């Protein structure tokens, strides 16, 4: 067990929307991902999804009872998407995010629109 330097960890991979599991807390993965452009509309029916913007800016589209809205997260901001809420992240170039999700949670949720080629539908890749 050693500390993880997030800036250093980000230099070890280039893939976008392909989270790396940098550590675990109880039954949760702490995932680090580079992001740029659009992800995919998706929903996690049984869990919230926590976002921390490490670098850049992330916008999250939300489909709520009253309609759609966007939440803009500059560097250093956190936001939790409540379980059962359809959402679609969109990232500016150079964005990096940290996610906290139960181990085994798919990056494209329990239901989703068609997944584009640039989005990795995964439960996370071990970072080493």
Structure tokens at 99: 């996610």
The pTM score is: 0.94
Rounded to whole angstroms, how far apart are CA atoms 90 and 60?
A: 6
Look at residue 1 in the predicted model and tell me its pLDDT.
79
Q: Tell me the pLDDT tens digit for each residue of 58-103.
A: 999 999 999 999 999 999 999 999 999 999 999 999 999 999 999 9
Rounded to whole angstroms, how far apart are CA atoms 93 and 80?
A: 22
User: Domain map of the chain by residue range?
Assistant: 6-118
Look at residue 66 in the predicted model and tell me its pLDDT.
93
Rounded to whole angstroms, how far apart are CA atoms 90 and 49?
A: 15
Rounded to whole angstroms, how far apart are CA atoms 9 and 127?
A: 8
20-25 and 125-126: which strand pairing? parallel
- Residues belonging to the chain: 128
Q: Tell me the pLDDT tens digit for each residue of 37-55.
A: 999 999 999 999 999 999 9
Rounded to whole angstroms, how far apart are CA atoms 94 and 113?
A: 25
Give the whole-number percent of the chain exceeding pLDDT 70: 100
Mean pLDDT along residues 26-39: 97
6-118 CATH choice from 3.40.50.2020, 3.10.129.10, 3.30.360.10, 2.60.120.10: 2.60.120.10
Does residue 128 register a pLDDT over 80? no
Q: Tell me the pLDDT tens digit for each residue of 102-120.
A: 999 999 999 999 999 999 9
Environment class of residue 75 by beta-carbon count within 10 Å: exposed (0-12), middle (13-18) or buried (19+)?
middle
């Amino acid at each position: 067990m050693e500390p993880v330097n997030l800036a250093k960890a980000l230099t070890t991979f280039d893939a976008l929307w392909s989270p790396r599991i940098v550590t675990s807390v109880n039954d949760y993965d702490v995932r680090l991902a580079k992001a740029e452009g659009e992800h995919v509309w998706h929903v996690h029916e049984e869990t919230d999804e926590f976002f921390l913007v490490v670098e850049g800016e992330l916008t999250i589209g939300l489909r709520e009872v009253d309609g759609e809205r966007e939440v803009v997260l500059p560097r250093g901001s956190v936001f939790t998407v409540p379980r059962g809420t359809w959402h679609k992240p969109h990232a500016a170039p150079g964005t990096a995010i940290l996610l906290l999700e139960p181990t085994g949670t798919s990056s494209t949720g329990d239901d989703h629109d068609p997944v584009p080629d640039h989005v990795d539908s995964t439960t996370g890749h071990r970072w080493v």
